[in-house]
Amino acid sequence: MIRADARLRVILVNYNGGELLERAVRSALGSQWPGEIDVVVIDNASTDGSADVLEGVRGVHVIYRDTNEGFGANNHGFADLVGGELEVDVRSAGVIALLNPDAVVRPDTFRLLAARLDADARIGAAAPLIVFDRSFIELDIVGTGIAIDSVISGVDELSSQCHGTNGAERLPGANGPLWLCPMGSRLRVPVDGLGRIVVGIASGFGTVAGQKVDGPGEISISIAQFQTVQVVQNAGVSIGPRGTGVSRGYTKRIDEKLGPQAPLWCGAAVVFHPNYLSTIGGFDPEYFLYYEDVDLGLRGQAAGWTTVHVPEAVVEHRHSDRSVQGTELVEVLQHRNRLLTLVRHGSTGDVASGFALAALTPLSLAASAIRHRDQRSERLRLAKWRAKSLKEAVQGVGHAIDVRKNEQPPT
């Protein structure tokens, strides 16, 4: 049982988090927690000095690493629980929380999550409702061949943080995403306050948010004409076909139904019972970024632990602020790690079909580049990245198989 005055340890891994890191830490320290709170910041060789401003802040402990160890650096924050030595002077914690440096917890979030850990002895993780920390406007697309290559608000380029709905598709452009927006689709744009956004049109004819589009150019759109919507990023994770991690509720409006409960948690924000980590260990550093939480969650599930979801506990997340969606790093790691997680945890049939599809995808993209000459470079670029992710996955199969064998219970 978790004592009412248990110590809370909040772990954040930082890499050039800028002002968002301090925002995240302040939100954690301001939690309505009945006991003491320690915040452990693990800095992955940042160059912006973002962790330095936290030196001397009461309750904050910074661990500086010489290299960027990726998300697995969280292991330093619970080393004492998984057979290592904690590098800072923090007493044993009764509850462990992970929080991304670009996220904010509401005052009651950790308290609500920790309270649910006591509901059942096998609950190892409590997951919040994670929403994007900015509201969105929705741009209606009417026309043919409309492609958007930039969305600018002031000095900020937002296209990598947009969402496509109703068929809008993102391709990797030379300088950022290229959004292909068919008839009836929508592009969701994150906004802060009022003002205007400038939308760059790469091609197409019709209207975007009621404004005429007649080939390449720019249109200026007033934010004031829209009703903003709040959007869900994650309400738990499930495993879809061929090992894909599926975020429950992703890009749904906050007032929409999220669907059935998901069995796993998201590493952007989660609370652990210490026994969960001491039983199954920490993150595998082979992942660096993406699917490390899925792997750890599946390991916990295999050991008999469960996850509870607490929608009343809310975390606001600036998603894709540092690891920009649609870049080579993100695309390669996401698909490489999905395949390796499939090898570790999936059935033989799922592994075979997953790798077969991964092998066909670059060929399909290359063929589509011939059919769509105006998007040839983008489609070939994505084909190259998918081929690279497959190559790196194949290189990691041996290690993944060894891990799977070692984790199987003795017969």
Q: What is the phi/psi pair of residue 170, to 5°?
A: -105, 130
125 touches 305 (CB < 8 A): yes
* 278, HSE (Cβ side, Cα atoms, 13 Å): 10
Asked if residue 3 belongs to a domain, the reply is no
Place of tokens 């991964």: 358
* Residue 394 CB partners (closer than 8 Å, separation 6+): 355
Residue 406 has a pLDDT of 83
**Listed residues 225, 256, 272: the one ending a domain:** 225
Residue 4 has a pLDDT of 64
CATH of residue 100: 3.90.550.10
What number is the average pLDDT over the span 118-127?
91
Structure tokens at 330: 């993100």
Let me know whether 388 and 355 are in one domain: yes
Share of the chain above pLDDT 90, in %: 85
User: Among 129-138, 235-244, 292-301, 359-368, which stretch is predicted with the lowest mean pLDDT?
Assistant: 235-244
Let me know whether 16 and 92 are in one domain: yes
Helices 328-345, 376-407: crossing angle, 10 deg rounding:
30
- CA–CA gap between residue 51 and residue 339 (Å, rounded): 34
Let me know whether 272 and 372 are in one domain: no
Looking at the predicted structure, is the pLDDT value of residue 14 above 60? yes
> Mean pLDDT score of the chain, rounded to an integer?
93
Alpha helices in 261-312 (DSSP H): 274-280, 292-302
Let me know whether 104 and 184 are in one domain: no
Number of separate domains in the chain: 3
pLDDT tens digits, residue range 261-312?
A: 999 999 999 999 999 999 999 999 999 999 999 999 999 999 999 999 999 9
According to DSSP, the residues that pair with 181 across neighbouring strands are 146
User: Among 118-122, 171-175, 354-358, which stretch is predicted with the lowest mean pLDDT?
Assistant: 118-122
Residue 411 has a pLDDT of 30
What number is the average pLDDT over the span 328-353?
95
Let me know whether 34 and 127 are in one domain: yes
* 252, HSE (Cβ side, Cα atoms, 13 Å): 14
Looking at the predicted structure, is the pLDDT value of residue 326 above 80? no
**Listed residues 193, 225, 257: the one ending a domain:** 225
- CA–CA gap between residue 265 and residue 31 (Å, rounded): 21
Structure tokens at 158: 């937002």
Question: Among 297, 276, 234, 265, which Cα is nearest to 126's?
Answer: 265
Residue 410 has a pLDDT of 41
Let me know whether 271 and 125 are in one domain: yes
Residue 322 has a pLDDT of 59
pLDDT tens digits, residue range 371-389?
A: 999 999 999 999 999 999 9
What number is the average pLDDT over the span 350-367?
96
Let me know whether 249 and 127 are in one domain: yes
* Residue 356 CB partners (closer than 8 Å, separation 6+): none
Residue 282, by phi and psi: left (phi above 0), alpha (psi -120 to 50) or beta? beta
Let me know whether 145 and 190 are in one domain: yes
Asked if residue 365 belongs to a domain, the reply is yes
- Under the banding of pLDDT at 50, 70 and 90, the label for residue 321 is low
Looking at the predicted structure, is the pLDDT value of residue 93 above 80? yes
Looking at the predicted structure, is the pLDDT value of residue 409 above 80? no
- CA–CA gap between residue 364 and residue 38 (Å, rounded): 50
**Range of the structural domain that residue 357 is part of:** 328-407
- CA–CA gap between residue 128 and residue 180 (Å, rounded): 33
Let me know whether 23 and 117 are in one domain: yes
Let me know whether 214 and 238 are in one domain: no
Let me know whether 119 and 48 are in one domain: yes
Residue 252 has a pLDDT of 92
Residue 143: its H or E element: strand 135-153
**Listed residues 183, 205, 225: the one ending a domain:** 225
Let me know whether 65 and 107 are in one domain: yes
What number is the average pLDDT over the span 342-370?
95
Looking at the predicted structure, is the pLDDT value of residue 323 above 80? no
Asked if residue 1 belongs to a domain, the reply is no
- CA–CA gap between residue 46 and residue 405 (Å, rounded): 36
Looking at the predicted structure, is the pLDDT value of residue 3 above 80? no
Identify the residue with better confidence: 70 or 174.
70
